[in-house]
Amino acid sequence: GESVGLHLPTLSVQEGDNSIINCAYSNSASDYFIWYKQESGKGPQFIVDIRSNMDKRQGQRVTVLLNKTVKHLSLQIAATQPGDSAVYFCAEPPPGGKLTFGQGTILTVHP
């Protein structure tokens, strides 16, 4: 399943499927991005970050892709599990500390 951020803020997938959550940014000078996961009733939690000198960053089940040409990044979760159900935010932390969050995408994983 795939989301398109502002136009589709919810994403429903079956357990075991791969999920793709998208985020568009507007500031071409942005050089650092963070993905946060917010589970129900909890605060946002850091998942992964990527700097603008990279196109891809891979974790255990998580891959971040950054396309600076179109100012777009995506979070790919492989073999999505029910525990992945949460709201996912992309964020730009500029040096001044004023973290700007995207709208967020609600991911629901069905067993």
CA distance linking residue 110 with residue 45, whole number of Å: 22
Residue with Cβ nearer another protein (8 or 99): 99
**Which residues fall within 8 angstroms of residue 31, CB to CB, at 6 or more apart?**
51, 52, 53
Residue 103, interface with another protein (CB under 8 A)? yes
CB 105 within 8 A of CB 87: yes
Our finding on whether 89 is near another protein (CB under 8 A) is yes
Q: Show contacts with another protein in window 11-50 (CB under 8 A).
A: 34, 38, 41-46, 49
The count of chain residues that interact with another protein, using the rule CB under 8 A, is 23
Q: Which of 99, 108, 109, 111 binds another protein (CB under 8 A)?
A: 99
Q: Is 10 in the site for another protein (CB under 8 A)?
A: no
Burial (CB count <10 Å: 0-12, 13-18, 19+), residue 24:
middle
Binding site for another protein (CB under 8 A): 34, 38, 41-46, 49, 87, 89, 93-101, 103-104, 106
